[in-house]
């Protein structure tokens, strides 16, 4: 697992756009005759999907390679969330085009949200693309690849109401051997007005809890010590007996419906040394039961990613978020009451949404001051074709203004991240070691339960170990300490 290729971060003009990071896969050598190369853009869901794709194609005779020059098949697993994300992929295609001229038999496919959004138009717009497959069409990839090998172009952008890839064991390709992603649901029914995801990833559906538990247990048995349960909106995870698997549920003593809180407790119950994280929560849906489940199990990490998007209630209404500024603040109070003031909290913020006034922007800044987030992903609004906002509202804030407001948000967040880190100096934390620090051979890094990165001298410890670390100093983004136990 050590020969992982480093992440290549492709930033979007501002440092918080690491949603656009590209990851290359590790080399796999199981003696297959052909090579697959995948780059993943966008959210963790795409990284997780790439592991499912690799698994499906492994059965078809493809090993993965981290060297694009070795590839018989090149996939870009794409993101459509902002225009810049799509531009990044198009630029990448022009580079791949040069390679394809030297090696015309190399197949090029577009997967993920951009494939779903643009469908067959992608084949017309980007001549080098041979294959287009949306997020629910990955089981069909073997047939699509065959079709391309026969000299045709291939497209499948069918969106499913059922597909969860529950039975497919992902090939862990981007893994450090300690932490892994588990997809627990797909799609989103929320229809936030700015967001393209409901159109590219389809209707919400939850994955069979039995298969989630089996996957988590298998990871633990293989030495993994942390799983992140992934969904666009994990709080609406729901699995009901009528729908599926009544017998299994009866055996487990679950009567009717498995909620997200139930699922969290089940995964946490696998082993106390298996940490559980999750993403993404929704302020309108996160329940006290979830907070209580987190408080009850030491191994459920005390960290929540709870996107606010805007601090102004009128803008939140236009965004169709289903909560007000006051509701959000009340949820944060409840969270800190139940999980304690040291629990971690991160968010997403959008500047310059349609018709946002200067005062409304100030509301976002004042909400940040009230909450003091540990971390935030921050963006300026990018209108996406076909979304509710694109249909209903004018994208009427000048780019300059959007960027200036974003800068103000970033400056504030930087200050708050620094402040939250400073508050940790002198405290001790249980840390799960994830690997060697990038800067020094003699240092390791890991995370606290609240998701802060800590660097410390390695002593005789190795990745996968739990250690207690005292924090002695910090930078804006990292805690620095030493092992006490
Ligand atoms: N413009 C800017 N940011 C967006 N996001 C989603 N859609 C857009 C858009 N059209 C942001 C939201 C979301 C995160 C994943 O991306 O903050 O929570
Ligand atoms: Fe998009 Fe809203 Fe669904 Fe998140 S909850 S994926 S922002 S529609």
**Distant-in-sequence contacts of 83-88, Cβ < 8 A, 24+ apart:** 83/382, 83/383, 83/384, 84/12, 84/13, 84/17, 84/20, 84/382, 85/12, 85/19, 85/20, 85/41, 85/42, 85/114, 86/114, 88/10, 88/12, 88/20, 88/41
* Total domain count, the chain: 3
Domain that holds residue 434: 428-483
The residue written with tokens 């797909």 in the block is 186
Rounded CA-CA distance 59/79 in Å is 26
Collect the ranges in the chain with pLDDT lower than 50: 1-21
Residues flanking ligand 1, CB < 6 Å: 81-82, 194-195, 307, 309, 348, 350, 379, 381-382, 384
CA of 35 to the centre of ligand 1 (A): 34
Rounded CA-CA distance 416/372 in Å is 6
Cβ pair 35, 63 in contact under 8 A: yes
CA of 443 to the centre of ligand 2 (A): 38
Q: What is the pLDDT of residues 191-240, one digit of tens each?
A: 999 999 999 999 999 999 999 999 999 999 999 999 999 999 999 999 98
Q: What is the pLDDT of residues 234-245, one digit of tens each?
A: 999 999 866 555
Q: Could you tell me the CATH number of the domain that includes residue 59?
A: 3.40.50.12160
DSSP 104: T
pLDDT of residue 31: 76
State which H helix or E strand residue 54 sits in: helix 44-58
State which H helix or E strand residue 286 sits in: none
CA of 236 to the centre of ligand 2 (A): 12
Q: Helix, strand, or coil here: 218?
A: helix
Assess whether 301 and 355 both reside in one domain: yes
Rounded CA-CA distance 76/111 in Å is 6
Full-model pTM: 0.92
Q: How far apart are the first and last CA of the chain?
A: 27
Assess whether 283 and 399 both reside in one domain: yes
pLDDT of residue 174: 72
What is the best residue among 348, 389, 395 to mutate for testing ligand 1's pocket, by most ligand atoms within 8 Å of CB? 348
Domain assignment present for residue 7? The answer is no
Q: What is the pLDDT of residues 83-133, one digit of tens each?
A: 999 999 999 999 999 999 999 999 999 999 999 999 999 999 999 999 999
Nearest residue to 165 via CA among 1, 48, 72, 80: 48
Domain assignment present for residue 11? The answer is no
Assess whether 193 and 341 both reside in one domain: yes
Out of 361, 391, 417, pick the residue that ends a domain.
417
Assess whether 217 and 251 both reside in one domain: yes
């Amino acid at each position: 697992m050590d020969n992982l290729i480093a992440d290549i971060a492709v930033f979007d003009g501002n440092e918080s756009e690491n949603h656009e990071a590209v990851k290359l896969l590790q080399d796999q050598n199981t003696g297959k005759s052909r090579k697959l190369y995948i780059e993943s853009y966008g959210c963790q869901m795409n990284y997780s999907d790439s592991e499912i794709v690799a698994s499906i194609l492994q059965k078809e005779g493809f090993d993965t390679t981290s060297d694009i020059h070795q590839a018989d098949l090149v996939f870009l697993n794409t993101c459509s969330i902002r225009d810049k994300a799509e531009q990044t992929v198009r630029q990448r295609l022009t580079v791949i085009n040069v390679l394809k001229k030297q090696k015309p038999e190399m197949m090029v496919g577009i997967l993920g949200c951009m494939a779903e959004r643009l469908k067959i138009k992608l084949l017309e717009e980007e001549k080098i693309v041979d294959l287009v497959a949306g997020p629910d069409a990955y089981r069909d990839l073997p047939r699509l690849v065959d079709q391309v090998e026969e000299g045709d172009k291939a497209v499948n952008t069918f969106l499913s109401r059922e597909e969860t890839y529950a039975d497919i064991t992902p090939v862990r390709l981007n893994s450090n051997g300690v932490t892994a992603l588990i997809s627990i649901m797909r799609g989103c029914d929320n229809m936030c007005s700015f967001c393209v995801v409901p159109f590219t990833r389809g209707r919400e559906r939850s994955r069979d809890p039995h298969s989630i538990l089996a996957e988590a247990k298998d990871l633990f048995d293989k030495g993994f010590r942390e799983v992140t349960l992934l969904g666009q909106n994990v709080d609406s995870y729901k699995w009901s007996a009528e729908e599926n698997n009544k017998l299994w549920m009866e055996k487990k003593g679950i009567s009717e419906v498995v909620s997200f809180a139930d699922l969290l407790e089940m995964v946490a119950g696998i082993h106390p040394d298996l940490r559980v994280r999750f993403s993404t929560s929704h302020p309108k849906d996160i329940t006290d039961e979830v907070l209580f489940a987190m408080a009850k199990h030491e191994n459920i990490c005390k960290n929540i990613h709870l996107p606010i998007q805007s601090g102004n209630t009128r803008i939140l209404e236009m965004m169709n978020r289903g909560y007000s500024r006051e509701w959000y603040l009340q949820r944060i109070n409840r969270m800190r009451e139940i999980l304690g003031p040291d629990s971690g909290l991160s968010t997403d913020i959008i500047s310059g949404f349609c018709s946002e006034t200067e005062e409304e922007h100030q509301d976002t800044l004042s909400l940040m001051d009230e909450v003091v987030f540990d971390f935030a992903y921050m963006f300026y609004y990018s209108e996406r074709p076909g979304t509710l906002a694109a249909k209903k509202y004018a994208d009427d804030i000048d780019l300059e203004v959007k960027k200036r407001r974003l800068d103000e948000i970033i400056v504030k967040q930087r200050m708050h991240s620094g402040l939250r880190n400073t508050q940790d100096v002198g405290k001790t934390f249980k840390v799960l070691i994830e690997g060697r620090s990038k800067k020094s051979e003699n240092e390791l890094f890991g995370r606290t339960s609240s998701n802060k990165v800590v660097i410390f001298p390695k002593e005789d410890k190795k990745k996968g170990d739990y250690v207690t670390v005292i924090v002695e100093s910090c930078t804006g983004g990292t805690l620095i300490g030493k092992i006490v136990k």
